[in-house]
Structure 1
Amino acid sequence: MIKKGWDTFSAIRQVAAQLGVQPERIRIAGIKDAHALTAQHISIGSMPPQKVLGFKLEGLRIIPVRFMSEKLSSRLIYGNEFNIVVRDIECSLEIAQSRIQETKSELNNLGGVPNFFGHQRFGTVRPVTHEVGRLLVKQDFEGAAAVFLSKPSPHEHPKARRARRRLQETGDYERCLAILPRMFVYERAMLRYLSKRSSDYLGAFRRLPQHLRRFFVQAYQSYLFNKFLSERMKQGIPLRKAQTGDYVVELDEKGLPTERFERAEANNVLEINKKIASGRMTIALPLIGFKQRPSSGLQGEIEKAILEQEEVNPSDFQLEKMPEASAAGGLRTALTPVLNLDVEPGDP
């Protein structure tokens, strides 16, 4: 799927509508920036290639590649490739090249870049996705609806800001629906429902696609992961040397993380660090979920403090009233490698 000017979920919704399938039949392995020109693999269940060839929409193309025997998931993706243009650099070419070399050396020494989730995970224009997810995890559906529908952003469409502020002031779903621009499909679906059933917030969220409900909770998992990793770095705890209590995952021959993991203990930490140094293992932090417990040791203390501050427990990710959005959790590497980094000056 090649797109420009589309966020990933809106693009998937349009593809599904034109092909006459439910959005849940389309699987992705990550979300891409709405403004950049991006290309990503998707899978569409039981879809003949000739039908995809007829797809046509401005800023959006689907190119059939091949059949595959399983649904697409992030574990099948080797990595992302970027072509980035930096303009209006104020320093000289010599200084820029020197700084680039310093950065490349630093990345090589570190073994990659800290594996933070990017801002698109939380919303580029209105970063509230993780806030909605936190309230869903706490099963505060009214609070989650209030954030999703009425929290404005200074960067969004002026009419949307006005509609959200009006809803904050009046609680009038019908009036907000009347003035919110039609491009806000998901908010309008919830507003339309709440205009008739003003206290059924759980039902309102079920007007949204299932993958979006799951995404809210996943965004909150991502937010917690970023806090875990950020605090580890602030405290100066290495990302390439395991400490007692750290999770570590095995890497395959391509350097990709596998599902095999263990915890560093006093009796194995030296051997684990040898494997990390040789590129056979890497440190991982938890994506907290109802099956994924925090680390122990120093990293565990960091995670415990953050979870207490957030007033959330791993078991909370088993959503009793919205089980389809429950999140089991897992592990994510603390570093991600940077391969084939090349920089060249462009035309003056």
Structure 2
Amino acid sequence: MSEEKLMSKKKPAYPISKELDEYLDYYNRKIEIPIHYEDLLRFSGSVAVYDANDEDTLWVRVYYPEFDRDEIDLALKRVYSIFVSDGSDSILQYLNVDYVDYCTFGNSKPFRIKVRNILNDNYTLLYVKKTDASRVYGLELEHMLSPYNLNFVIYENTLIEEHIVGIPGDLFIKNNLPECSSFDKAQIAKEFVKFNERCMIRLLGDMRSYNYVVVPTHDFDSVVYKIRAIDFDQQCYEGKLKVYRPQFFKENNVMVDLVQNKLTINSVEQYILEERSIIAKRILSWGRRLKLLLEICRKDKISTPENTEMLKTQLQELTGDIKFRDSKNMGEVLTYALDFVKRNYEDVSMKQIIEKKF
């Protein structure tokens, strides 16, 4: 199936509702910052950014007029202090804004900021984007239902995210995977199965290879590989269930082949069951906070009626759970999906939900 048919042409940005804004404020995700996304758009020029192999990264390095540069640099240093420290000005003298990059590829059109500590050359990357309710729900769900904590804040129409460290999936598949041992490839296949399941359960779409990273961690005499999502604006929007399963994007064909070649069907079933069990336990452990987020999401508009109707029908066919039939919006579809996992993670028949492609 082609990408054009699999996904919509353009997903709109949805505003932050009053209830979601109050939720973010309560859980310290809402902080006053001294710069807005629109301020960074005042650049006067740019040059393309190329990687070590002299290939276009689709980012451009932007430059500001002299009378704007000092003001923007100071504001970005203060953003860094607020985001990762106590918000005081005492550390500003030790910081330098090395560059501001802008990406015109994709929906969010983010800015990437490199802030460096001049005393030791350690640096932090921050991403500045426009706020989008879909992305905020995606970030919060990733924080609660994945193995990873996320640091992000919003202020009015501006969202700031901390960089997620790892090797972009497309680059890993091209440059690193061919050099991996047979043991490593089996481990990566296992992680892709778990990642595929995690995305489907919490309805995170569009996990093409450039929207996730592979994280290698050295452990004694071996390397442990994990897969992490890095783009969250396709949370609960599309109507086709396949959009929420990374295995159906052609960019991930190499990973799918790896699963088929390195894992048996029994192993795939086992890893799916493991992931569902872990997510069910996370749903229970987050308790009130997750329940409140889902209540807000059920009142919100983050997709179209057509997409909601399509997805709830496909999920009902997949799970046999008639609750999906009564879903009025994507918030309710998401709630029933997580509730299904929580209720059935120990006794659901895994064979009924594994696509033949695996």
* TM-score interval, smaller chain: under 0.3
Q: Which has the higher helix share?
A: 2
Q: Which structure has greater strand proportion?
A: 2
Q: What TM-score do the two structures reach when normalised by structure 2? A: 0.24
TM-score when scaled to structure 1?
Answer: 0.24
Q: Which has the higher Rg, Structure 1 or Structure 2?
A: 1
